[in-house]
Amino acid sequence: MNMIQAINSAMDVMMERDPTVIVMGEDVGFFGGVFRATAGLQAKHGKNRVFDTPITECGIIGVAVGMGAYGLRPVPEIQFADYIYPALDQLVSEAARLRYRSAGEFIAPMTVRSPFGGGIFGGQTHSQSPEGIFTHCSGIKTVIPSTPYDAKGLLIAAIEDNDPTIFFEPKRIYNGPFDGHYDTPATSWAGHKDAQVPTGYYRIPLGTARIARAGEALTILCYGTMVHVVEDTVRTLGIDAEIVDLRSLVPLDIDTIEASVKKTGRCLIVHEATRTSGFGAELSAQVQERCFYHLEAPIARVTGFDTPYPHSLEWAYFPGPVRIREAINKIMKD
């Protein structure tokens, strides 16, 4: 399966297992979603369980909060992560706090799916990576897969979770892994080991990172599309780097991160979101607090810039192989 098919399969499996699972959002029903992630679900499960909503992100999430409080497990889709901002009040003030403010009487077991990130020339309104905003809000879990296999297992775990979860899907790798070389032909998930996705039920617990590549010389922390860009860059350089695919930002598998950095003595953080207050800053702080006496060089970050995502200069903004290679060479010399 490619990532779109894996995500579709996860929702299908959960709707078969649990009659309280509801899929909702703009164009998710008859049309099957702009990326086809919900294709066929309405025909199979009916219009009462897979339905289109008005173009109102605040309303979509507000309704989902109410559904969760009354015992359903909604899976709302925000068509692009850039348009999740109108829903922030419902997510932060209502969904994230419902369990706390009701002393556990009510919960908001909702999984908000949303394509995010650049690499498709979406410009400033279809390329943003707002994950850092949600990792700052207590009560919300934030999950980002990098492979079809992980996408299905993590999405099933998120739907089963009793807390609200933001499930960001890296749209640049929906149809195949991306090594950051935009001027070469696109590749497909076909034949990739991480595209071997079981058709039935399985779950990957939230808060468990994946060692995408074992190594001894350097730890690289990344997630989503950046996992594949980093893997190709490391392979090209021939450096013995350990690549940690976080998969889940909140909850964070800090034990795996700590063990890796203590082993290698160096740490590079790569993400596509803007640099200031990006999730890399939190990672850097936690690594410094836990691994200071093991570090042999300053922690480094390769990120997006503190600007809107540019259309014409997309590949200057995108943390590609050139910038990652420069950072690796520097950190290994320090």
Helix ranges (DSSP H) in the chain = 3-17, 41-45, 57-69, 88-89, 98-101, 131-135, 148-160, 225-237, 254-264, 279-291, 314-317, 321-333
- Tokens 């790798």 label which residue? 173
DSSP 37-76: TTTTHHHHH-TTTEEE--S-HHHHHHHHHHHHHTT-EEEE
pTM for the whole structure: 0.97
Cα–Cα distance between 109 and 64 in angstroms, integer? 9
> 152 in helix, strand or coil?
helix
Active site residues: 126
Task: Give kind and range of the element (H or E) at residue 300.
Answer: strand 300-304
Beta bridge partners of 109: none
Q: Going residue by residue through the chain (334 aa), what tens digit of pLDDT does each one get?
A: 999 999 999 999 999 999 999 999 999 999 999 999 999 999 999 999 999 999 999 999 999 999 999 999 999 999 999 999 999 999 999 999 999 999 999 999 999 999 999 999 999 999 999 999 999 999 999 999 999 999 999 999 999 999 999 999 999 999 999 999 999 999 999 999 999 999 999 999 999 999 999 999 999 999 999 999 999 999 999 999 999 999 999 999 999 999 999 999 999 999 999 999 999 999 999 999 999 999 999 999 999 999 999 999 999 999 999 999 999 999 999 7
Cis peptide before 251 (omega within 30 of 0): yes
